[in-house]
Structure formats: structure tokens, C-alpha cells
Amino acid sequence: MGKIGAGIAVGLAGVGAGLSQGNIGAAAVGMLAEDASRFGHAIIFTALPESIVILGLLPLFL
């Protein structure tokens, strides 16, 4: 049962990160179209949802 729970945690974290990254990616491209000097902000905003997946992987190691 523990492995099923860990799999669900990783799967849902991945799905949530994917959905949010799609919206954030579209907004980041729009932001870059208006002001290309904000490339660093766009990279940071795009990378933030990936931390959710990393936190979802923690139950595998605990």
C-alpha cells in the first residue's frame, strides 16, 4: 500500500505541475513578447512548478 500511495503522490504532483506549467509558459511567452529583458523572470516562473514534482518524489525516499 505504501508504494501505491507514493505512486499516487508522484503522479498527482506531476499532473499538477504540468497543468500549471502550461499556463505559466503561455504567460511567460506573452511577457517576453512585450519585454525581452525579463527573460530571467520567465525562466524562474517556468521552473517553479518543477519544485512541486521534487517534493512529490520525497515519499519515495522516506
Cell digits for 36? 525581452
Residues in the chain: 62
Distance CA 6, CA 34 (A): 42
Q: What predicted TM-score, i.e. pTM, was given to this entire model?
A: 0.69
- pLDDT tens per residue across span 18-55: 999 999 999 999 999 999 999 999 999 988 888 888 88
- For residue 1, give the amino acid letter: M
Q: Which of 57, 62, 60 is nearest to 13 (CA)?
A: 57
DSSP H stretches of helix in the chain: 2-34, 39-61
